[in-house]
Amino acid sequence: MSASPDGAAATSAPRRDAYPDALRAGALLVVVFGHWIATLPRVQDGRLAGTEHLLRVWDAAGALTWLVQVVPLFVFVSAAVSADGVERRLREGGSQRRWWAGRALGLARPTTTYLAVLAALALAGLWTGGRLLEPFNHSLTIHLWFLVMLLAVQALLPLCVRADRRFGLKAVAALVVAAAVADLLRAGVRGPGDLLALGARVDAAPGGIGWLNMLTVWLLPQQLGIAWRRGRLGGAGHGAALLLIGALWLAAAIASGYPVAMVGVALAGNNMLPPTLALVGVMWLQAGAVLLCEQPARRFLERHAVSRAIAVLGALGMPLYLWHKLAEVPAAWLGERLGAPIDAGDPGQPGFWLGRLCWLALCAATLAPVMAAAVAFELRRRRRLQPAAGSLAIAAGGAALFAGLAAALLLGAAPGAFVAVACVGAASWLLRAHPQPVRP
């Protein structure tokens, strides 16, 4: 209790923890700028001829993905932030299905808008030849994989909270063992000698049983985040230990033949589809950095007025994540018209990084009006919708949402957006409550 200025007692609202919010805001900015930097427009005769990925032309970029692959960090922090609410609902007997439906609805509604715009652009491209849209076709939807993964692991968040309550850090160890077994079986390890080339054998083998790690590996940062929230992990000592484990883990993984880059197929190996043990090393590094930096970061946040900037980034997080890739299309068009050096060759060539800065500036400049329009549109819609309560509606809505996102990932903006917008739009309708009017 605290005294108000007029002497009356007033209950002060609990202060929001700024550290997790700052971590998520920082991770979001890394994703946005990382995606823009990785996209290399190729121009011929003053016109966009295609795009390349930085990892294709610069081998050293693989090690940089250890820093910019921040999805584990986002899952880690999101689980820590949500753990108390889930624990409270478990104690009170609240509906976990409805909680997940609310999360899914919050993702489905703005995603429907994004997919509708992509479908409109794809339709316009049918009439104009799609010269600018085609080079970015799959890159405009590939980032939606994160929504699929996040929704899947958050559906199991109550189970992870129960596991932490009962087993503590043994639940983390169990996930590590399960991920290791999946990689060992995928590699066909027959004896100790095969372990020396485990990474190479995994990389050469089809996904097979390794696809189990699409769930197991991504549940690991979630379980770690809950443990952090519960105080099972914390302090500079634990942070330094996890950093050391992560460094040794990655060194052993690379020595055994795992790809260096922590990305998907067709770029620089494959540690993502499905996830491998090498990616787990990045999770140790990121969790260790969070713990090691916690106290100095909290002191910095207390002394400096950055809470408003963090809050703005938090409020704009979903729109920024959805729309930042689309900004590359008008940025390429504007770069053509201005004759800007958006195609500056490859790393090591004169002017390459100056060209990257030019490309970043164009992407940021074109994202601003896109974001303003998207946010204004969403604000005009009904903002507070109750999630569906019925199990059947939630199951059908979830299935439609996953199907729509899968179509966008597999087929790109054209023709994927046409299928995806129908499925995700249906999911948005199914996942919301539809109260019936009361008859007199």
pLDDT of residue 6: 41
**277-303 and 235-255 are packed helices; what angle lies between their axes, rounded to 10 degrees?**
150
CA distance 177 to 160: 16
pLDDT digits (tens, 9 = 90+) for 58-68: 888 888 889 88
Q: Is the pLDDT of residue 2 over 90?
A: no
| Whether the Cβ atoms of residue 409 and residue 142 lie closer than 8 Å to each other | yes
pLDDT of residue 275: 94
pLDDT of residue 192: 86
Q: Is the pLDDT of residue 353 over 50?
A: yes
pLDDT of residue 56: 86
Q: Is the pLDDT of residue 166 over 80?
A: yes
pLDDT classification of 268: cutoffs 50, 70, 90:
low
Q: Does an H or E element contain 47, and which? A: strand 47-53
Predicted TM-score of the model (pTM): 0.90
For residue 11, tell me if it sits in a domain.
no
pLDDT classification of 380: cutoffs 50, 70, 90:
confident
pLDDT classification of 369: cutoffs 50, 70, 90:
very high
170-174, 267-271, 319-323: least confidently modelled range: 267-271
CA distance 331 to 368: 11
pLDDT of residue 248: 97
CA distance 268 to 59: 8
Q: Is the pLDDT of residue 292 over 90?
A: yes
Q: Is the pLDDT of residue 389 over 90?
A: no
For residue 354, tell me if it sits in a domain.
no
pLDDT classification of 7: cutoffs 50, 70, 90:
very low
For residue 93, tell me if it sits in a domain.
yes
pLDDT classification of 390: cutoffs 50, 70, 90:
confident
CB 292: neighbour CB atoms within 10 A?
Answer: 19
| Whether the Cβ atoms of residue 143 and residue 35 lie closer than 8 Å to each other | yes
Q: What is the mean pLDDT of residues 304-324?
A: 88
Range of the domain at 55: 17-38+49-326+382-430
pLDDT of residue 363: 96
pLDDT of residue 312: 86
| Whether the Cβ atoms of residue 18 and residue 307 lie closer than 8 Å to each other | yes
For residue 438, tell me if it sits in a domain.
no
For residue 353, tell me if it sits in a domain.
no
Q: What is the mean pLDDT of residues 50-61?
A: 87
pLDDT digits (tens, 9 = 90+) for 60-115: 888 888 988 999 999 999 999 999 988 888 787 777 888 899 999 999 999 999 99
For residue 29, tell me if it sits in a domain.
yes
For residue 124, tell me if it sits in a domain.
yes
For residue 240, tell me if it sits in a domain.
yes
- Output the average pLDDT for the chain: 89
Q: Is the pLDDT of residue 13 over 90?
A: no
Distance of CA 379 to the CA centre of its chain: 23
| Whether the Cβ atoms of residue 82 and residue 371 lie closer than 8 Å to each other | no
Q: Is the pLDDT of residue 4 over 50?
A: no
pLDDT of residue 126: 64
Listed in sequence order, the residues at least 6 apart from 418 whose beta carbon sits closer than 8 Å to its beta carbon are 119, 122
CA distance 323 to 303: 33
How many domains in the chain?
A: 1
- pLDDT > 70 fraction of the chain, expressed in percent and rounded: 92
CA geometry: angle 343, 348, 349, nearest 5 deg: 45
pLDDT classification of 124: cutoffs 50, 70, 90:
confident
Q: What is the mean pLDDT of residues 164-188?
A: 96
- Among 429, 425, 426, smallest CA distance to 388 is for 429
pLDDT classification of 315: cutoffs 50, 70, 90:
confident
- Among 410, 412, 72, smallest CA distance to 262 is for 72
Q: What is the mean pLDDT of residues 175-196?
A: 93
